[in-house]
Amino acid sequence: MNSNRRLLDGEAQSAKQICSNLPENNVKPKNGLKSLSPRQMEIAKLVAEGWSDKEVGRRLNLTDGTVGWHLKIIFSRLRIHSRTMLAGKYRLDFEKELNAPPPHEREGGQTGKKG
């Protein structure tokens, strides 16, 4: 029986009980790498590796502005506010969620940057 029907039938409930039954309160927010689209994952990976917006754009055939726009969404979804935080979150979440080190840290992996 839903909360509204119970209220109409005279059953008293506290606001806390009613709110706890709302679907949006029972859904855990996504704020890990799995919340990102494949394109956002590509961008997050490159930024976490230290590439600039311009370099990311060149590699993915995007404008600097498009990369920046994607980064705003990535930062929002991951609840972070800097590229440094993105690098840390990428590394930690990749290991936690996918049970493996990021691709650029695997044996034989390369970042693509010239050292």
Q: What is the pLDDT of residues 43-81, one digit of tens each?
A: 999 999 999 999 999 999 999 999 999 999 999 999 999
Checking if the pLDDT of 86 tops 80, the result is yes
Checking if the pLDDT of 99 tops 90, the result is no
HSE at residue 95, side-chain half, CA atoms within 13 A, is 9
Category of 99 on φ-ψ map: left (φ > 0), alpha (ψ -120 to 50) or beta? left
- Which residue did the predictor score with more confidence, 109 or 65? 65
pTM of the complete model beyond 0.75: no
Cβ proximity of 111 and 59 under 8 Å:
no
Instruction: Report DSSP state, residue 99.
Output: S
pLDDT at 105: 59
pLDDT at 114: 45
Q: How many CB atoms lie within 10 A of CB 93?
A: 19
Amino acid identity, position 101: P
Look up tokens 């936690």; give the residue: 96
